[in-house]
Amino acid sequence: MSDDTTEDKKKPTSKRKKREIENAVKICSTPVTVENLAFIAREFILCTLPHSDPGDVPAWSRTNGNLTLGVQPGFNYKTGKSYGIPYGTIPRLLLVWIVTEIIRTKSRRLELGNRLSDFLIKLGLDPSRGGECSDARRTRQQMEKLFNAIISFEYSLEMVGFIHESKISMQVAPKIFLCWNKKDPDQLSSFGGTSGSWIEVSDDLFQAVMKTPSPLDIRVLRHIKDSSLGIDLYTILNREAFRAMKDEKPRFLAWEWLHDQTGNEYGDIRNFRRDALIQIQAIITVHPGLLISIQRGHRGQKSGLVISNLSTPSIPSDLVREPIQGEVNRTPPVLVLLPPPPPKLPPPEKMLKPGTVARFRAIYPNLDPLACKAAFDVWAAGLPPDQQPRHYDRVFLSFAKRWIVGKMVVNNG
């Protein structure tokens, strides 16, 4: 204990660490609002982009169970070189911006300029300063990689006697107009008095986003923005928390599954587990609704994470229904992620027991029991809820005594 205390005195808390602690306290003490709302597509949770630069390769892929994500770099015909594979934190954050803008505008064409700059500033990035390692330079480089890349999702499923395969390939932004500042080549510039720069995402990406968006808290992203593994784990764990809460059952994630899903660049799964636990601890400090325990492997049981069914996602379901703030003089579209409750179906038709039908026919041989039942159902539907028949067949036979008046014809043959 004394050694630890001495070590703490030698290494005081850094200014950056203090800011992180202050931000974590602020996030936990301030309710999330619609302004903190961001989104990511489900497909980019199930399989994630590389963490580090794969180099000058013709393609890159990651497989998670039956799903394989493939990325083919775009080609710059002006330079005669490949743009390269998007990697790291920036393309992940760009994808969050793209998906959020698609949900906000319900349009394939997305205006850059102030919209993107404001988003990056919310994440704690500085898009205004240039330089070799600046946020602006990294953003431009990863924008070029991501917007020009062709992303494929391949799904295969083996069944008895069959192998089902499906594939979809899409360029993130098949139409691009970027106007860069000549004096500051890392900055987007206005053109013709407008923001100028825009992208148009592919229809396949647009449809996928509108179908299965997953809500995120931009404040949590800001807290873990420096770690691509942290961003991946947040999107995964937040989705699993929602599923555990919805199903009222804990969710289990084996380390090997998480390794395949987010970290197959790690040669040793133990190193992956070590780094993942560091990022999970950082996530929990700003996402207190995430209740996680560690399950150790024992007698054939896999080791991994258990997400409690008492967990809550970082974005409440009712908040997702609220409209996202749009631009000035523009009516924001109403976002409804969760489908409206289905209309109440009429109660299933009650059937008479065979014994009741036989008794009716024995007493009233010349009358149709189904005709009497139809009249009985109409009569019963008009009764108040507290007077509905509790014993359907018994009340039916009593009703039949009144219904048959004037209807019975005795056939003496």
Span 14-33, pLDDT tens digits: 776 777 777 778 888 788 88
Confidence of residue 55 (pLDDT cuts 50, 70, 90): very high
| Mean pLDDT over each residue of the chain, to the nearest integer | 81
Distance of CA 166 to the CA centre of its chain: 21
Confidence of residue 77 (pLDDT cuts 50, 70, 90): very high
Q: Which residue has the higher pLDDT, 391 or 196?
A: 391
For residues 66 and 158, the answer to whether their CB atoms sit within 8 Å is no
pLDDT (tens digit per residue) in 341-363: 455 555 667 888 888 988 988 88
What is the model's pLDDT at position 51?
93
For residues 67 and 157, the answer to whether their CB atoms sit within 8 Å is no
Confidence of residue 317 (pLDDT cuts 50, 70, 90): confident
Smallest CA-to-CA distance from 221 within 206, 238, 205, 209 is with 238
Burial 284-319 (b: 16+ CB within 10 A, else e): ebbbebbbbeebeeeeeeeebbebbbebbbbbeeeb
pLDDT (tens digit per residue) in 211-248: 888 999 999 998 898 899 999 999 999 999 999 999 99
What is the model's pLDDT at position 336?
35
What is the model's pLDDT at position 253?
93
Confidence of residue 401 (pLDDT cuts 50, 70, 90): confident
With residues binned 3-state (H G I as helix, E B as strand, rest as coil), the percentages for the chain, rounded to 5, are: 40, 15, 40
What is the model's pLDDT at position 322?
53
For the cut 80, the answer to whether the pLDDT of residue 263 exceeds it is no
What is the model's pLDDT at position 134?
73
Confidence of residue 379 (pLDDT cuts 50, 70, 90): confident
What is the model's pLDDT at position 234?
95
What is the model's pLDDT at position 95?
93
For the cut 50, the answer to whether the pLDDT of residue 339 exceeds it is no
For the cut 50, the answer to whether the pLDDT of residue 167 exceeds it is yes
What is the model's pLDDT at position 411?
44
Show the DSSP H helices in 47-163 as ranges: 89-105, 114-122, 135-148
What is the model's pLDDT at position 345?
55
Residues with Cβ within 8 Å of residue 392, at least 6 apart in sequence: 350, 352
What is the model's pLDDT at position 271?
92
Rounded average pLDDT over 113-131: 71
Q: Which residue has the higher pLDDT, 314 or 195?
A: 314
Confidence of residue 161 (pLDDT cuts 50, 70, 90): confident
For the cut 50, the answer to whether the pLDDT of residue 137 exceeds it is yes
